[in-house]
Chains A and B, each alone.
Chain A
Amino acid sequence: MNPLIEFFSFSDPNIRYVVLGSVLLTASSAIVGTFTFLNKRSLIGDAIAHAVLPGICLGFIVAGTKNPLVLIIGAFITGWLSLIVVEYITRKTRIKEDTAIGLVLSVFFGIGILMLTVIQKSGNASQSGLDHFLFGKAAALVGSDLIAFLIVAGILLIVVYMMFKEFALLAFDKAYAKSIGYPVRTLELILTSLIVLAVVIGIQAVGVVLMAAILITPAAAARFWTDKVVIMVFLASAFGAFSGLAGAYISFVAPAMPTGPWIVIVISTIAFISFFLAPKRGVVYRLIRQNNIRQTINNENVLKVLYQLGEENKNFFIPRHLDEIIRRRKYEKSTLQSILRRLLNQGYVEQTGNLWSLSDAGKNKAQRVVKIHRLWELYLTTYMKIAPDHVHEDAETIEHLLTPELEAELEKQLGYAKLDPHQTNIPYHE
């Protein structure tokens, strides 16, 4: 049978368990992770993931079996303890938070490894499988795991749903939340408990090291597509669920492939695509926009030089040589040529041989820029009381940015003044 059909028909119960388990884990971790991410506590998730190991071993030593409830309670205790220790060290000594996090995660993990190796050599037969917590075992999930996951995922979803507004406010404006009487400390406690819970079940799928990824990476990716928390939570869980599904599929098609790391590679790929290609916040979009702005500024500056040269000769349409422009404003010759060619295409300048002159449209555009520049200088000296020799730099920037509405407002406020602070004429469009 075609593996794709075989996989997605979910007829094999093992496939069902693995897929459902992976999707549940990744989606619910992603939801909790969104708030961790927004609180800028991504690395705390990493610390908890490492710190639950000694708790799991402790749970095993106490119970003598791999009773999931006891293991989870053990994990919960050391996961919480690690956070308390981080906070205590940061508050009581001069050690910084990042050092405290690194210290606690590696030391707790070391203790965990020590306990794990001691248990492994103790001869207790039921210990086999404890190391699943180290590397994850998404490909070997069984029915009873799934029930535990379902319960935990259910708790996570219900709590997040009920406290959504509080968590969102906490992430964006803690001081405000406190001032309107939210129990900030309790909310943080609940949120941290949710992280610990998500970590405790999540590490069974992807293991200690990669746990941070399924918490944080979906949220980081989702952040690039939206500014709304609700949408971000949905996107993050969708990204998480997709990577869970994809990871399960890959290790189904190639059984030697570990599921957990593939889940992480898929979700990281989604994140990288988002970082680069997302509209508005993506790297590519921002580079394009920066480039457009730079082009506009260059265009307007060259037009302005041609205009100012025209003012001196009382004729705006005299063809000019490149050197004349460069004498006024420093450009590489090749850069200037490409700017002028762009302006020619846009119809703002005309070319005769190797001489360049303003077109009518170009003159109007340049006049507007010069007008805004001088109006702004006047505004700064009149209203902000800034000395006339300090206003040029600021006007150089604002002349490219001012919207037509603000431009009209500025004209009105200054009463259509004729002269700027340097006693130069302010040109209005007739």
Chain B
Amino acid sequence: MNDFYIILTASLVASSCALLGCFLILRKMAMVGDAISHAVLPGIVLAFLFSGSRDSVTMLIGAGLIGVFTTFLIEFFHKKARLQTDAAIGVTFTWLFAVGVVLISIFAGKVDLDQDCVLYGEIAYVPLDLIISPSGANLGPKAIYVMGFVLTLIIIFIVTGYKELFLTTFDPAYASAIGISTSLWHYLLMSAVSVTTVSSFESVGAILVVALLIAPAATAYLLTDNFKWMLVLACASGVLASLTGYYLAVWLDGSIAGAIAAMSGIIFGLAMVFSPTHGLFFKKLRQVAH
């Protein structure tokens, strides 16, 4: 049962990340997603200090705000201070991450966070944190409810805002011509990314969230030209990475999150070579046939 709980949690995290990742990589914002996943750290520590726990609504709202703040800061440095984009991203997220680590050190006694957890999470402990109903029945791990809730939020967000998200991603000029605010949807998307990052933080840590944001989406991008299919395939490859990664970790007796990230990379590599439409192998084959 523990295996199932861990795989389910990982799959829920992977699906939320994969869905958002599709938008990120098509908007050429993969590194902004990376930056946000690091920059939420001080927000997490502060919210933890105020609310005393890691899974509150305060934290999700705080996370959304921090994400917007990070995006805003990057754009401010880029547009107002005329700093090149890559440096603006690098300076912003390292600064916020450093502030987060220092905050953890200052409040070491009060905050139940350590640096290991920050980097690669504690998904192995998911089955230990159970919700017990008043009558004493075991309702399953809390993380599953949290991640299930977040995934539902993300799906609702994408379904209701599909047209706007789609247009602002593929044709921002047309989108603003028909009156869709590109910057509003830009910031909404970034808030969604930070909410997902923060809630996934406990299970997979700050950096491995990036693997799940980017790798499944990139895999799907190589498999299809249809955006709806890309969303579906990204989720599928995220879930596949969770499943295979878990058993890889069990086999090697190592970090589950690390193994999931490694597997998502391997799945990407397979897609890169063997994708029927964009794979290097079939491209080569077609060249030879001609």
Contacts and interface: CB of A to CB of B under 8 A. Distances in A.
Interface of A: 37, 40-43, 45-46, 50, 89, 92-96, 98-99, 101-103, 105-118, 121, 131, 134-135, 208-210, 212-213, 216-217, 219-220, 223-224, 256-258, 260-262, 264-265, 268, 271, 275-276, 281-283
B28 A98 contact: yes
18 contacts: A93-B222, A93-B280, A96-B25, A99-B214, A101-B31, A102-B214, A103-B268, A107-B262, A109-B261, A110-B259, A112-B258, A113-B119, A113-B258, A114-B248, A121-B253, A256-B105, A261-B98, A275-B83
Contact of A135 (B90, B115, B254, B280): B115
Nearest to A281: B82
Interface stretch (B7-15, B144-152, B205-213): B205-213
A107 B215 contact: yes
B94 A110 contact: no
Interface in B25-51: 25, 28-31, 33-34, 38
A210 B41 CA distance: 13
Contacts of B248: 114
Contact of A262 (B90, B102, B115, B261): B102
Contacts of A103: 30, 211, 214-215, 218, 265, 268
Contacts of B260: 110
B120 interface: yes
B98 A265 contact: yes
A183 B10 CA distance: 48
B208 A99 contact: no
A213 B94 contact: yes
B46 to A, nearest CB: 16
Nearest to B120: A113
B290 interface: no
A258 B94 contact: no
A106 B280 CA distance: 23
Contact of A105 (B105, B210, B222): B210
Contact of A102 (B90, B119, B210): B210
Main secondary structure of the interface of A (DSSP, over half): helix
B81 interface: yes
A101 B32 CA distance: 12
Given A95-B221, A103-B265, A217-B91, 17 more contacts: A40-B84, A42-B89, A89-B272, A92-B272, A94-B222, A102-B213, A107-B262, A117-B254, A117-B258, A134-B119, A208-B119, A209-B94, A220-B91, A258-B101, A261-B101, A268-B91, A282-B81
Interface size band for B: 35 or more
Contacts of B106: 256-257
Interface string B241-254: 00000001100111
B186 interface: no
Max chain B C-beta neighbours (<10 A), residue from A261, A262, A275: A261
Contacts of A261: 97-99, 101-102, 105
Interface string B84-109: 10110111001101110110011010
A257 B105 contact: yes
A41 B120 contact: no
A115 B101 CA distance: 24
Given A111-B258, A117-B258, A275-B83, A209 B38 contact: yes
B207 A209 contact: yes
A134 to B, nearest CB: 6
Contact of B208 (A113, A208, A210): A113
B263 to A, nearest CB: 8
Contacts of B81: 224, 275-276, 281-283
B255 A99 contact: no
B87 A37 contact: yes
B228 interface: no
B257 interface: yes
A45 B221 CA distance: 26
B142 interface: no
B77 interface: yes
Contact of B249 (A40, A114, A208): A114
A119 to B, nearest CB: 9
Central interface residue in B82, B257, B262, by most chain A CB within 10 Å: B262
B99 to A, nearest CB: 6
Those 10 A-B pairs whose CB atoms lie nearest each other, nearest first: A110-B261, A107-B265, A113-B258, A213-B94, A114-B258, A106-B211, A264-B98, A268-B95, A261-B98, A117-B255
Contacts of B71: none
Contacts of A89: 272
Contact of B222 (A95, A121, A219, A283): A95
Contacts of B261: 106-107, 109-111, 113-114
Nearest to B222: A93
A220 B83 contact: yes
Contacts of A37: 84, 87
Contact of B94 (A94, A121, A131, A268): A268
A131 B102 CA distance: 18
B80 interface: yes
A258 B118 CA distance: 15
Nearest to A224: B81
B272 A96 contact: no
Contacts of A223: 83
Contact of B87 (A42, A208, A210, A262): A42
Task: Identify the interface centre among A96, A109, A112, A113: most chain B CB within 10 Å of its CB.
Answer: A113
Contacts of B80: 283
Contacts of B257: 110, 113
B108 A256 contact: yes
Given A107-B215, A110-B208, A258-B101, A271 B31 contact: no
